[in-house]
Each structure stands twice: as C-alpha cells, then as structure tokens.
Chain A
C-alpha cells in the first residue's frame, strides 16, 4: 500500500513536470514561435479568442506566478485552449475524437507483440542452441534496427501500392458510416493490419530477448532442478515454474512499452495517415498549432502515467516480495 502511494506521488510529480514544461516552453523559447503562430492566425480569429490564446501563452502582462497558477488550473479542468488548425474546435474535443484510433492501433500491436515475443522467448530459452535460440535473435535485432517509419513505408509500398492487398491510408474507407456492424468492423480490421504489423515486427525482438535472458537466469534456480528431480513434465516446468517467475520483468516492461508504443504508433500513424492523435500531432506541428501540440503531449503523458500506475497495481498482486517491504 505504501509503495502504491509512493508511486502515485511520483506519477503526479512527473505529470506536474510535464505541465510545467508545457508552461515554460512557449514563454522562454528563443525565436518567439508563438508570435509566428499569431501572425498566421490573425485573419481567422475573433479578437476575444486571440485574447484568450494570448493568456494561454503568457503574452498578457500578468505576473508569471499568476499565469502559472491559472495555467495549471485550466489544465486540470480540461480546458486546453482552442485548436488553430481546426478552428474553432476546442483542443480537448479534437483529441477526444481521435484518441480511440491510437488506443486501438497501439493496444492491438502491443498485446500481439508482448504475447508472441514472450512465448518465443520462453521457447528459445528452454531450447538453448536450437533454431529459435540461435537464428531468431540476430534476425530480430536486424529487423529491429530498421527505423519504425521506414519499415512502415516499405510495407505500405509492398503490400499497399505494389500488391494492393491492403488499403493504404486512413482507418476506414471514405463513405462508410461508423457503426457496430460487420461491414464497418471488418473494414477497420483490414485497415489495421499493416500499421499494427509493422509495430509488432520491430518491437517483438525486444520482448523475446528480454524474456529469453530472464528465462535463462530463472532456469538456473534450484527450484527448477527440484521440479526436474520430481519428474514433472518439461512443459509444466517450462510454463508453470520457470516462465511464471521470469514473467515479472515483462510486466514492468509492459508499462514502459506503452510509452514506446505511443511513440512508435505516432510515426506509423504518419506513414499510413492513420487518424490517431500521433498523426494529429504532426498536423499540429506543421500548422504551428501550439495549443493542440501541447494538449496532445499532455494527453499522451497522462495516458502513459496512468498505464504505469495500473501496472504497479498488478505488480503488487503478482510479486509478494513487493508487498512485504
């Protein structure tokens, strides 16, 4: 319980750090990016909306601490300002309409990569020197060396442009109305295959190697020898004795990987023009839409922190040693 509270405090601190970073960046950066944005937005905005944005970016004459307090307050009330590229939609609405796609893509890819990678790692460690153990790691390291987005480009070119097996962009065909019917869901699924596949391909190696290495360490433990001496079946020892204990670091990695997947999904989304918040972040950067950029950054950070906190909760359940401390 103390551990959970301590970690909760830590996550709140991290969130506070990212809010502060958001506050500081537009105010102290050289080159004054914010006024560039205003020059661009001048024509399309009402005077009072510009006044509100000026307040958000500290261009009014209030003392700094006062600006800071009101900024933090507005973040916690969900008021992230108004998007400029999608004027006059509030930032929170833009994010809300697109975060689902990112969660879908990132979640599917993460779960597949983690499950498959861990299984491969278990088998590779159990059969030391076998095909899986000797040929796979170098291969996976090689695939993992490719930049995320480049692999995505290659897959898009090969399966989308040349072979035409999969659709090339967006989350579903234009003209389909979203709804819970078979046609729409299968359309979404075919659009999901390529982006998810590229993420799985580059991230699976890390899972496999990590699992393999902990499995090797675990397999040297006395209780494994004991289990062998008892004459238990190899598969039972492998899964119920060794893998179960070797899985703990993977649980921690799962929390870490969430941040990584959001990052990776970001580039993949850009390549496949997948309408998640990563794609939107790039649009915001290109349109000098600073409120939207900051809002997306805060949302992603909050999501990652929340995920880590949930993993902590799970970890306390799984590892009794943590509870004793």
Chain B
C-alpha cells in the first residue's frame, strides 16, 4: 500500500481550469488517433443499431447448409449449423456493445462513488474503502468471475452484475488518487468553509476537475467489459441463447470450427471485439497524451507550440 502512495505522489496533477476542459474535446478531434477511434466506434454503433435492417429475421435461424465458405449469398459464410455468420456478427454487436458499455458505465459509477467518498471523507471511510478496493484488486479476476457466474442463474443481467463486481476496483483506485489530490486544493477548502454540502462538493467541485481521468477509466472499463463478457461466454458461462460475439465464438469452438478449418466462423466476431477494443484504446491513449504533456512526442509538442 505504500507503493500506491508513492505512485500517486508522482502522478502529475492536471491544472483545473474550465477552458482546459472545452479544449479536451477539440484536442480529441484534432488528434488523429482519437479521431480514428471515434469513427470506428461510431461505425460499430451504427451497425449494431441497423442490424434488424441489414440482416432481417432471427440471426440464429438455420437457413442454409452448414460450413459454407464465404460467397455472394453468405458474405461471411455459414456456421457448422448453417447460420449466416454475417447476421450473427451484426446481431452479436448489439449484445456485446450493450453489455460492454453498461458494465463500463456502472463500474465507473461505482468507482466514482467509492473514489470521491474516500477522498472527501478521508480517515476511517478512506481506510475501509481502500481496504475493500485492494482486496478486490488482489483477488484473481477471471477465476472470481467464473465461480460467481457458475453459482448465479445464467442470463445477461448476471453477466453484467458479475462483471461490475469484478471490474470496478482498478478504476476506484485511480479515481481515489486523483480525487485526493484535488481534495487538497484551496478551492475545495473554500467550499468546505462556505458550508457547501458534502454531496455538492464531491460532485460539483471535485468531479468536474477530474473529467479526463474519469474518461480514461470509463474507456478502460468498457474495454474490460467487452473482453470479459466474451471470455465468460466463450467458456459457456454466459447466456448461450443470446447472440453476442462471445457466444458466437463459443459455438464456433463447440462445433469444432478450428478442427474442420472453417475459419470464417470464428474470425469475424473476434476481429470485431479487437477492433472495438482498439478503437477505445486509441481514444484512451489520445486522452492520456493530451492531459499528460510529458507523454506527447517531441514533434507534436513543437507543432502545438508553433
């Protein structure tokens, strides 16, 4: 735990100014990395929303002979059972993105609450919350996920719940560190002296000043959510009746797609997960670079100055 304190002490604090925050959005669009990431994300969101239009009907319907290579009729071929892989991938985006972003939002929400409460109240509250956070951080994630999912009744809500339980702690630690450094600033002390209520100070004074950190943890949580959901479902611990990228991979592996050489059954879903995670990571990387000047490359720094 002392190691943590050292780490937080060296984290550069971000100057808290409102003009800076408006700048963040514009800088994000300016950054090529972030722009590419945002476009990719928008594309996937669009595909997920338009799935009923692009591939009407139930995607798990068997409407062809099995294990067909990609062709004009089935752009991405068919599974061993004879389902259209393109339709499965498009519909899979809905569940995967929904679960991923829900997990990200809820987990970040929990992390914000824990982090802010820790930083604002300090003392016993801080000690207790930090202890709980560290225990969750230390317990091995995937095995914990598996035994939780094995005991709970299967379903999408179980998947979300389990992922939130295992995913919030890392963000909480980062947010606590950031909130703690802002808690020590004069304007917070001023707010306390003027008698503002604790909730108002936490959410109106401290939270807006750590927007960029919240953003990076949110993106990190979404990446975690999408990947962990896929992993859970690949192991057969999700709801195998729902079409998602994870269940697509589960069925592909169960039907022996690897051994029979039907690569098109497992490549698209995995690629989609990777692309979404990559897009999120790109945006994350850009936010990091914008808010932490030392990480910017020299060239970019010179350009910005000139």
Contacts and interface: CB of A to CB of B under 8 A. Distances in A.
Nearest to A30: B153
Interface string B220-258: 000100010011001111000000000001000100001
A251 to B, nearest CB: 9
B144 A267 contact: no
A238 to B, nearest CB: 18
A27 to B, nearest CB: 10
Given A13-B135, A129-B297, A282-B235, A325 B2 contact: yes
B49 interface: no
Contacts of B259: 161
Contacts of A128: 297-298
* Prevailing SS type, chain B contact patch: helix
Contacts of A220: 294
Interface in A1-53: 3, 6-7, 10-11, 13-14, 17-18, 22, 25-26, 29-31, 33
A138 B297 CA distance: 14
Contacts of B282: 138, 141
* Prevailing SS type, chain A contact patch: helix
20 contacts: A14-B138, A18-B139, A25-B148, A145-B273, A146-B277, A147-B273, A147-B274, A150-B273, A153-B253, A157-B258, A216-B294, A216-B295, A252-B3, A262-B143, A263-B141, A285-B237, A286-B236, A293-B146, A304-B138, A325-B2
B285 interface: yes
Contacts of B298: 128-129
A198 interface: no
Contacts of A266: 142-143, 146
Interface in A134-155: 134, 137-138, 141-142, 144-151, 153-154
A315 interface: yes
B230 A147 contact: yes
B134 interface: yes
Nearest to B150: A285
B95 to A, nearest CB: 15
A293 B227 CA distance: 22
Interface string A200-242: 0000000000000100110010000000000000000000000
Given A147-B274, A290-B151, 20 more contacts: A10-B131, A14-B138, A14-B139, A17-B135, A22-B147, A33-B150, A137-B285, A147-B230, A147-B234, A150-B269, A150-B270, A150-B273, A154-B267, A267-B142, A286-B236, A290-B150, A293-B150, A297-B144, A301-B139, A322-B2
A321 B7 CA distance: 13
Interface string B276-306: 1110011001000000001101110000000
A162 B131 CA distance: 50
Contacts of A148: 231
B225 to A, nearest CB: 12
A132 interface: no
A112 interface: no
Kindly state the interface size class of chain B when it binds its partner: 35 or more
B190 interface: no
Contacts of B7: 249, 252
A90 interface: no
A161 B258 CA distance: 8
B3 A322 contact: yes
A321 B138 CA distance: 24
A101 interface: no
Contacts of A297: 143-144, 146-147
B231 A149 contact: yes
A105 B200 CA distance: 51
A145 B278 contact: yes
A285 B248 CA distance: 20
Contacts of A31: 152-153
A305 interface: yes
B150 A300 contact: no
Contacts of B277: 145-146
A290 B144 CA distance: 13
Nearest to A11: B138
A147 B231 contact: yes
B6 interface: yes
A83 interface: no
